[in-house]
Homo-oligomer: A and B are copies of this chain.
């Protein structure tokens, strides 16, 4: 056996690479981890989960279209579902600041699924064993390219994160601000312009403004989710949909939608999907809009709770952040 002790030796076009014996990832991942020692931060759970969803759905589509033998496809789906559940998160070792379009990240998931599927078939991971191995590129990455799967994974992760985490959190905030707005409606205080005393107002009116503002940006976040439903799977390297079965794009998206119950769809114009991250660019701005408003509101609260003897001291915030040695 070519592996000695805790490592096995893998070979690729650039030569030999030593990989930990326990690792499902392989030579490409190892090279990337060695090359991109930048931040020590890896891609988040939600992104890895989205990669798993794409890999499972692609294998299902490829089986349906007769491109991938069922015995191979089945173990790929099983391994991909383990990735979805988070079982192999610790094996996603490539730094978030990696070169290019995310090729190394795509190879990380391909190699993990390929080797784990190989193991599920009863084969050895060690190349020197000459067992049948599920191939990370030919089998796991079948009908795919980094250039179509990586942005599609970004779309899926964003949709799940924003729908399931952010929007419910903002709903709670709006509800709470609304409660405060009504609760404070009997409290009369001085209005201010440029921090100078102005006419009187109710504290509840101030909070009614906050409520409306957050509701306003909430609607924008929701509306800006729609372009994320366009995923260009099948577009391949540059959007020309070559080297894939003509029914692959619609089939893989159906598989995804039946798996996670969102209305993903093919892009109206594949080339703009491949050229830009239109949806992400917009959402970045919309999240900044939210951030600007939250910073403004919390700055107000900080100012209103200043003092208590030499500040505005109009409201009182919970004590935690004030305990200061």
Chain A residues with CB under 8 Å of chain B are: 13-14, 28, 31, 35, 41, 99-101, 103, 106-107, 110, 137, 141, 145-147, 189-201, 205-206, 208-213, 216-217, 220, 223, 227, 236-240, 242, 268-269, 271-272, 274-276, 278, 281-282, 285-286, 288-289, 292-293, 296, 302-303, 305-312, 319-325
Asked if B195 contacts A240 (CB within 8 A), the reply is no
B199 adjacent to A310 (CB under 8 Å): no
Identical subunits present: 4
Contact A269–B209 (Cβ < 8 Å)? yes
User: Which B residues are in CB contact (< 8 Å) with A285?
Assistant: 285-286, 288-289
Closest to A136 in B: B325
Assembled-state Cα–Cα distance A321/B99 (Å): 6
A224 and chain B: residue at smallest CB distance: B220
In the complex, the 4 A-B pairs of residues with the closest C-beta atoms, listed nearest first: A209-B271, A285-B285, A212-B269, A195-B306
CB distance from A226 to the nearest CB of B (A): 11
B103–A216 contact, CB under 8 A?
Answer: no
Residue of B nearest to A311 (CB): B195
> How far, in whole Å, are A319 and B14 apart by their CA atoms in the complex?
8
Q: Which residues of B contact A14 (CB under 8 A)?
A: 319-320, 323
Nearest-neighbour CB distance to chain B for A89, whole angstroms, equals: 13
